[in-house]
Amino acid sequence: MAKIYSENSIKNLNEREPKEETVNFLLNYSKALSVINYNKLKFEALLN
């Protein structure tokens, strides 16, 4: 398989940080997600 990533992009990968907006979105989503187990079934519900 051909080399897809250059060395520079791999070095920059460690320096990247997510935006605060992205972190808040993921945290709020995980707080609103509810998984309900019923017998062998799983139901996912967003509580917004």
pLDDT digits (tens, 9 = 90+) for 4-21: 666 566 566 667 788 999
* pLDDT recorded at residue 16: 78
SS3 for 33? strand
Domain contains 43: yes
Find the domain containing 35 and state its range. 18-48
Domain contains 1: no
Domain tally for the chain?
A: 1
Residues 24, 43, 37: CA angle, nearest 5 degrees: 110
Domain contains 44: yes
Domain contains 25: yes
pLDDT at 48 over 60: yes
Q: 48 or 41: whose pLDDT is higher?
A: 41
H or E element, residue 42: strand 41-46
Show Cβ contacts of residue 36 under 8 Å, excluding neighbours closer than 6 positions: 42, 43, 44, 45
SS3 for 38? strand
Instruction: Read off the pTM.
Output: 0.52
Domain contains 9: no
DSSP letter (8 states) at residue 15: T
* pLDDT recorded at residue 26: 93
